[in-house]
């Protein structure tokens, strides 16, 4: 009896978690001009509107580009730091872990504002997309670090040593021995980094400029003044893109995300 009650309760919570997402997806197929419930028939018209809207298409391109570049940068920096953390940090281990997780522990809104003032005070400004990419690297770095250092914990330093005794140089040792063994952690980290960057709002909102708005920013701007289901169509495409990336990395690259 108690067990069934618990299961029923959990199902309610899962429904609660999925509800707003399903509502958005459902609203995108609404034939009417406004978000009404029950919907006035099914239609793809808002997808057609969206695929002709340069503003949203450019925003998607910007988002994908920023996410790709910052994932590459933060995965390299984060992987190097994770190797150092597990193999060489010694008594500095705890401090390094704390420092690497700092962007996650500090309130994002404060980090975003601090970075905005800083890029202006050093004369960099937000004219180029560089400031936004730096911001995205900061907030994605902890996710790469968590995933790669978890994979590194089960890596035996003696494996590198064996390769070294057989004459492999440092780069070969990394490429042929270490990287294949910690690959799941690296891919998991990259995936997290990409999705966080693709979806993040506050950092992009503070560091955006004309022409560098990412999809979440564009969507937010649109939602403040418009109530058509076009936003729902855009959101649905964004959800499908994210799912596609997750499934792709799971099926093609054989990913195992590090669980909390």
Partner 1 sequence: MSLRAKSLKPFALIAPAVLLLGVFLVLPYINIVVMSLRNPGSGTPYAPGFTLSNYLRLFADSFYLEQTANTLVIGFITTFVCLVLGFPVAWQLAKTQMRFRGLAYGLVLSPLLVGIVIRSYGWTILLGNNGMINRTLIGFGLIDRPLALMYNSLGIVIALVHVFLPFMILPLMSALQGIDPSIEAAARSLGAGRITAFRRIVLPLAMPGIQAGCILVFVLSLSAYVTPSLIGGLRVKTMAVSVVDALIDTFQWPFGSAIALMLSLTGAMVVMLFARLTRMKWKAN
What residues numbered 115-144 form the site for partner 1, per CB under 8 A?
115-118, 121, 134-135, 137-138, 141
DSSP secondary structure string, 172-238?
HIIIIIIHHHHHHHHHHHHHHHHHHHHH--HHHHHH--TT---HHHHHHHHHHH--STHHHHHHHHH
Applying CB under 8 A, the span of 44-52, 74-82, 153-161, 177-185 interacting with partner 1 comes to 74-82
End-to-end CA distance of the chain: 31
Under rule CB under 8 A, residue 206 binds partner 1: yes
Nearer to partner 1, 139 or 184 (CB): 139
- Do 188 and 145 touch, CB atoms closer than 8 A? no
Where would I find the H helices in the chain? Answer: 2-27, 45-51, 54-87, 93-105, 108-121, 130-152, 157-165, 170-172, 179-199, 202-207, 215-225, 230-251
3 burial (CB, 10 Å; 0-12 / 13-18 / 19+) is exposed
Applying CB under 8 A, the span of 46-54, 106-114, 158-166, 181-189 interacting with partner 1 comes to 106-114
Nearer to partner 1, 52 or 260 (CB): 260
Nearer to partner 1, 20 or 211 (CB): 20
Nearer to partner 1, 69 or 239 (CB): 239
- Do 233 and 49 touch, CB atoms closer than 8 A? yes
- Do 146 and 189 touch, CB atoms closer than 8 A? yes
Q: Looking only at residues 234 through 253 of this chain, which bind partner 1 when binding is defined by CB under 8 A?
A: 235, 238-239, 242-243, 246
d(CA 22, CA 179) in angstroms, rounded, equals 39
CB of 231 to partner 1, least distance (A): 6
Please work out the total of residues on this chain that contact partner 1, with binding judged by CB under 8 A. Answer: 76
Interface with partner 1 (CB under 8 A), residue from 31, 32, 35, 258: 35
Applying CB under 8 A, the span of 64-72, 81-89, 175-183, 248-256 interacting with partner 1 comes to 81-89
Under rule CB under 8 A, residue 18 binds partner 1: yes
Applying CB under 8 A, the span of 52-60, 64-72, 101-109, 150-158 interacting with partner 1 comes to 101-109
CB of 183 to partner 1, least distance (A): 18
Interface with partner 1 (CB under 8 A), residue from 64, 77, 168, 181: 77
Under rule CB under 8 A, residue 150 binds partner 1: no
- Do 132 and 203 touch, CB atoms closer than 8 A? yes
Under rule CB under 8 A, residue 88 binds partner 1: yes
């Amino acid at each position: 009896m108690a067990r069934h009650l618990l299961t029923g309760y959990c199902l309610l919570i899962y429904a609660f978690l999925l509800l707003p997402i399903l509502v958005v997806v459902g609203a995108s197929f609404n034939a009417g001009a406004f978000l009404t419930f029950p919907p006035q028939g099914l239609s793809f018209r808002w997808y057609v509107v969206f695929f002709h809207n340069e503003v949203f298409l450019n925003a998607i391109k910007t988002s994908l580009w920023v996410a790709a570049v910052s994932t590459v940068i933060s995965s390299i920096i984060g992987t190097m730091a994770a190797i150092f953390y597990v193999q060489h940090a010694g008594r500095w281990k705890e401090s390094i872990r704390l420092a690497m997780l700092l962007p996650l522990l500090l309130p994002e809104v404060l980090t975003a504002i601090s970075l905005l003032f800083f890029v202006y005070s050093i004369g960099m400004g937000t004219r180029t997309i560089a400031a936004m990419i730096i911001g995205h690297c900061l907030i994605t770095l902890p996710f790469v670090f968590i995933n790669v250092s978890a994979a590194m914990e089960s890596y035996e330093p003696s494996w590198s040593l064996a390769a070294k005794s057989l004459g492999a140089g440092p780069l070969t040792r990394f490429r042929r021995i270490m990287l294949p063994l910690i690959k799941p952690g690296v891919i998991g980290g990259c995936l997290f980094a990409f999705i966080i960057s693709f979806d993040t709002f506050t950092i992009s909102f503070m560091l955006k400029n004309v022409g560098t708005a990412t999809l979440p920013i564009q969507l937010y701007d649109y939602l403040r003044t418009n109530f058509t289901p076009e936003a729902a169509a855009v959101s649905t495409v964004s959800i499908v893109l994210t799912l596609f990336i997750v499934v792709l990395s799971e099926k093609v690259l054989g990913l195992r995300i590090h669980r909390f």
